[in-house]
Amino acid sequence: MGTPLEAWHEIVRTRDGAALESLLDDDVIFESPVVHTPQLGKRVTSLYLRAALALLNNEKFRYDNEWPGPSSAVLEFVTEVDGITINGVDIISWNEAGKITHFKVMVRPLKAINILHQKMGELLAARSPV
Amino acid sequence: MGTPLEAWHEIVRTRDGAALESLLDDDVIFESPVVHTPQLGKRVTSLYLRAALALLNNEKFRYDNEWPGPSSAVLEFVTEVDGITINGVDIISWNEAGKITHFKVMVRPLKAINILHQKMGELLAARSPV
């Protein structure tokens, strides 16, 4: 296994849900582009990240730029959903065990947030255990 | 004069408009959190950055984190406007002459974009030459 960052890129390439689970710390925090309140824990973070990957990780998706630090990194991406360009960053932090402890996403412009809000809502409603 | 990044932090501390002008390349590009279309040139970028600083650079403003690269950096900030927490990133690129060539901003969550949209609109309408 490589660095957490390499593992993340591999998950984006392979869409491997089990690899995603094993990369997330049990107490990982997810912060969405839409909602202020952080989401706590592996179950809900995994749910959000799978929905986000299902929506954004299409044939238009690419990482454009990367700013790595010792225990965190910023990855800038561009993709397109329903003809709307979505430009965003993943801010990913990890611990010494190589597990992701914090995953934050921001996107621009306003149209991109709005479509993400709508589509993520639909996806999460369909996937959530009721 | 220090690095472009040090110069930027100094401008945020001092609110020195002339220093901002001299730090921007003539052909600098500004990309806002709200609008897709890039803004081109020093005049309009300076207008946007001054308005953004006037709005965001209040007593609650702080840079929380920084990921520097060789000719660009990501700076994460937190501030508050009208009781709404605004979390964002400045993505700043510069050239070999030490001038900023690209300035991109993203913010989260949706409430933060909405208030920024509204307040920046008011500020820019008041400041634009009519």
pLDDT band of residue B129 (cuts 50, 70, 90) is low
Query: What average pLDDT is seen over chain A?
Result: 95
Burial bucket for residue A41 (CB in 10 Å: 0-12, 13-18, 19+): middle
A127 pLDDT higher than 90: no
The pLDDT tens digits for A13-57 are 999 999 999 999 999 999 999 999 999 999 999 999 999 999 999
Q: CB distance B89–A106 less than 8 Å?
A: yes
B130 pLDDT higher than 60: no
Instruction: Please report where in the chains the tokens 């110069």 appear, as a residue.
Output: B7
Q: What share of chain B is helix, strand, coil (3-state, %, to 5)?
A: 40, 35, 25
Domains and CATH numbers, chain B: 4-127 (3.10.450.50)
At residue A10, the pLDDT reads 97
- Closest chain B C-alpha to A76 CA, distance in angstroms: 10
pLDDT band of residue B128 (cuts 50, 70, 90) is low
Among partner residues A88, A109, A114, which is closest to B35 by beta-carbon distance?
A109
**ipTM of this complex > 0.90?**
yes
- Is A91 near chain B, with CB under 8 Å? yes
- Is B65 near chain A, with CB under 8 Å? yes
At residue A11, the pLDDT reads 96
The residue type found at B91 is I
Instruction: Please report where in the chains the tokens 């300035």 appear, as a residue.
Output: B103
At residue B1, the pLDDT reads 56
pLDDT band of residue B116 (cuts 50, 70, 90) is very high
Query: How many other C-beta atoms lie within 10 A of the C-beta of residue A85?
Result: 14
Contacts of A67 in chain B (CB under 8 A): 67-69, 72-74
Q: Is A41:A55 a contact under the CB 8 Å cutoff?
A: no
- Closest chain A C-alpha to B67 CA, distance in angstroms: 6
The pTM of this model reads 0.95
- Computed over its alpha carbons, how large is the radius of gyration of chain A? 14
Distance CA(A78)–CA(B14), nearest Å, equals 34
Among partner residues B32, B69, B109, which is closest to A33 by beta-carbon distance?
B109
The average pLDDT across B58-76 equals: 97
The pLDDT tens digits for B33-61 are 999 999 999 999 999 999 999 999 999 99
pLDDT band of residue A69 (cuts 50, 70, 90) is very high
Task: Give the C-alpha distances (Å, rounded to integers) separating B54 from A127, B51, B101.
Answer: 43, 5, 21
